[in-house]
Structure 1
C-alpha cells in the first residue's frame, strides 16, 4: 500500500499536474482548510544547487507579494526535511482550466477579439506586478491559465526577480533566462531588463494568438534569439488578412526592437487593446500595408537620364535601356528611403542610454527625490495608491522602472503608498452559503479562512465571522468565517422528569420531541431512555423520550415470567406468596403489591401472589351396622293386613 506524502503536516501531495525547468507541480489537499492546492516542488537534482534554491525561494517571496485576480495566488512556502538536502516547496492556488498553450493546440489560433481580451487581462496582471517592482521575465502561453469561465490567470513567476534586487550577487551575471520564442532583444543579449521586456513578450503571445505561430521560429534557441535581436516580424495581417490595421499596429509596437519605441508600460498596451476592442482610436501608429508602400513608391517621379531625349540620332534600343536603368535606380532609392523610415527606428539605439534609473522603492518622497536628482533625473507626477500599512508614505511604484535606460534630465513618475484600502465585511453574510460569502469577500480583496463550527443553522451556511460582520478592515486582511456543520450537541435528559427533559431539548434547538412509556423502577414520568442517545445531531432530528410507567402489570403471568418482567423493569427484590384459589390456574400470579403503575415504598420490594390449588376436604369413614346373633330371638315382625 502506497503512503501519501504529507508536507508540513498539512498538505497531502497527489497527482502530477505538470513540470517546468526548475520544479514539478502536484495537486495536493490542504487538510487544515479542506481545499485543493497546487504544490510546486523543486526538482531533486536542483535541490543540491544553492543558486537554484535561492532562486526558487525568491520565486515564492516575489509571487506571495502579488495579490491580484489575474495572478495565481501563493499561499505558503516551506521545506521538505525528509529529503537530502531538504527540498523547498511553494503552495499555490489551484486553478481549474487549461493553459493558453493547450488552447492554441486545440484551436490553432483565436479570433482577434478574444485574443485582444486575453492579452489585455494579461497586461493588467503584468502592470500590477511591475508597479510592485517585479518583472515576470517568462511570459508565454504555457504560463497563462484560462479558467472555465474564460478568466486569465498569469502564473509561474519562477524566474521573476524584484527589480530592486539587480545588484545582488546572483543577479549580477545578467544571465539570459526565459523561453527563446518570447525573449525580448535585451534579454537575448543578456542585458538588464525592465517592465518593457514583459511588454515585448506579451506582444509575442498576442502575435501567436492571432496567427497560430510565434513571430520567430528557428532550428535552435540561438537562431530564434538572433531573429529577436536582428529581424523584424511579418505583420500579422500579412499572415491573416482579416487582422485590422489597429491590431497590426498594437502588435508591432509591442514588438519594437528598441524598448523606447514599445509601450512604456503594460497598462499602456492594455489601454490600446481595450480601445481597439471598443472600436476607438488607438495610440499606436498604424503599420503601412504593401499596397500603401507600393503607392508611395509609384508616386515618386523617375529621375530623367542625362542627355537630350529629343536627339533624333539616338539609337532607340540604347535609349530604352538607359531609361529603364535610371527608373530602376530611382525606385531603389525611394525604396531604401522608405525602408530606412520603417525599419531603422525599430533597429537602432542599441547603445546604452546615458542614465540608468535607480530603484527608489521603499524610500520616502524626499529620499526618492534626492536619489533621482543625484542620478541626473527629475521627479515627474507623484500619485498615491493603496498599499500595505508598512508601505504607507513610501514609494511603491515608479515609471520607468529601475534599471531602465533613459536620457539625462528625464522625469520619473512615482507612486506613494497611501496605506491599505478599507473594505467592509458585509453585514448580511450570516445565513448565506460559504461559497457565496467567500466569493464576495475575495472579490473585495480579502483573504478568507473558513472554519467549521457546530451550529443549529443549515449545514454549509455562515453563522459568524471574525472580524464581525459590518467591520471595516484593510484590503488584503484575513477574514475568518465560521460555517455551520448543521449539527449540535444532543443533551442527555435521562433521569429528568418529562417537563424538564422537553424544556432542555428545546433550549438546545431540538423541538421535535415525542414520548412513549415503559415499566420502570424509576418514579412515574421519569425519562428512562431517549432515542437518539446523547451525541451530535441535526436540530431537525425527532427525539423520542421513554417515560417510566412504574411497576409493570404481571397479574396473569406465571411466576417465572412475572419475575422476569419485574427484573427487566428494575425490580430485583421480588417476594412470592401463595393463595389457594380455584379462580386461576395454579402457578399464575393473581395479585401484586404495589399495584401496576405504582412503586414500592423505599427499601421495599414487590410481592406477587401466586395461585395454588385448594387443599381437598377429607371424606368421613362410615360406621358399619352389626349382624344379629343366632341366639337372639328374632324381632317381632309386623304383619300387613291382607286384603
Structure 2
C-alpha cells in the first residue's frame, strides 16, 4: 500500500529506470498504473529534487493523447541492512492496451494509413506538451500506448527530462545507449535539445511503422555516428508499396539540420493528414524528398553501371593488376574511417554543432563544502559555478546542499555546474496542503524542507469543513504564511461531519437547496400543507437543524404548500313565497319553499310552517 491509498498489484512493465505495476486506488475505486523508480536512482538527492518538479509538470498536462498523471509521492522502504530509502512513485492512468513496441513485435509493420494515424496521435500530444514548455526527449515505440479502442496515448512526459537534468552530460550519454535508434543529431552531439528534437524522434518512429525497421541499425555507438553523419534510405526502398507522400514526410522529419526539418508538431501533423487524404504535402517536404532522391539515384546509377569491357589483353592485364591495389586502398580507407569513428565518437557525443573539439573536465565533489571553497574548486578545473540559494534545516548555512552535474562526471570545459547552497532554516512560504491526506501533506511539507519531527497532527478532528474525513482541513500556521523551517506545523484533519444550518426556516426552496449544497449536503425537499399563506413556498421545518451529519448526506427540508380549498355551491334563485296576512289562519299544508341547503342541513328535513313550527301529519 503506497501513501495509505494505492494497492500495488502485479508487475506489468519494466524499463531501464523504473518498474510499472497494476494498482488500485482504494479511495476512488479505480485501476491505476504505478511507476516506481529504481532504488539506486532514488538515492540521488539531485534526481529526487528534479523528479518532484517534473512530476508536477507532467501532472499539469491534461490531454486525451497523454497518459494522465494522477498523483505522485514517496514511500519509505527498509533495506536488508536496516537502511531507509525513500522511493518515489507516480500514479498514472491505466491504459488497457499494448505499447507500440509490442504491436511492432507482433505485426512487423503497419499500413501507411494506420502508421500515419498513430503518428498523428503522437504529434497531437507533442503539440500540447510543447505549448506548455515540456520537451519529451524520449519518443520511442515503448513510450506510446494504443488502447483496445485504437486511442493513442504517449507516456513518460517529464520523467526522461528529469533523468537528463539530474545527471551530467556523461549521464545523458549513457542514457542515449538505450534509445539510440530514435536519437536526434543534436542529442547525439550533446547540444541543446528543443521541441524539434522530439519531431526527429517521431520521424524515426514513423519510419519504423512504415518499414518495420528504424532508419539506422547497428551497435549503439555506430547508431550515434549514423544519426550525425549518414543519410537514411527512403522508406520505399524497404517497402516498395509506400506512397511518395510518406517518403517525403518521413525524410523531411529526419533532416539533420533542425532548421530544415518540421518546425512544429502542427506542421508535421498537417502534412500527415494531407498525405492520408491524397492531397499534396508541403513544398518543404517535397524538397527534402527531391534532395534525398537525387543522392539515392546517383548511388543507384553507380551500382547499376555495367563492368567495362576489356579492349585488349594488355588492358585486361592492367585492370587485373590494378584490382588488388584498389581493394587494398579501399580496406585501408575503411580502416582509417573505423579508427576515426572509434577515436572521435567520444567528442561527437558532446560536441556542439561546431567542428572544434572541446576538452573535457572532471566535476569535483563539493557537497557540504562552503560556498566560496566550492566555487573555487569548480573554477580551478575550468567550469562555471551557478549558485541557487535553498532554505534547509539539515545543512549549515552557506554550505552546498547538492550539485548538478554530480561529482566525478566528465563534462566539456566551460560547462555550468549548479550548486544549491543552504540559506539556513530561513523563512519559507507554507504550502497549502488542505484537501490532501495526512501522508501526502507530510510529504509536501518535508519536500519544502520542514523536518518530519516538526510536523504534528492534532488529536481533535475538525468539524464543519468541505473536506472528506481524514483530509487536511486546516494548518497552523495558515497556508501561504512565511515561517521558519524550524517552526512546528500542526495539521488538523477533517472529521467528515458538518452541522446542518439552523437558519433555513423562512428561506425559499432554492435558497435552502443552495445553502445545503455549499456545505456538500443534498436537500430532500418535501411539501407540507399549511393554512398560513405567509409560509407557502418557504421552509417551515428542518428536522435535523443543528445536528452534525456526514458530508454528502441527505437532509430533509419541509416546504409549506397551499391546502386544497372547499367549494360551496349556491342554489339557483326561486320566486319569493307569498307572506300570509296576520288574519290568515295557518295552513295545514306544508310550505312549498324549502329552506336553503347548507352543509349542515340533514338529508331529510321535516316540513316547516311559515312560523318555523312543525306541522302534524293529517288525521284519518
- Structure number with higher helix proportion: 2
| TM-score, normalised relative to structure 2 | 0.46
Structure possessing the higher relative contact order (Cα contacts under 8 Å, 6 or more residues apart): 2
Question: Between Structure 1 and Structure 2, whose CA radius of gyration is higher?
Answer: 1
Normalising by structure 1, report the TM-score: 0.44
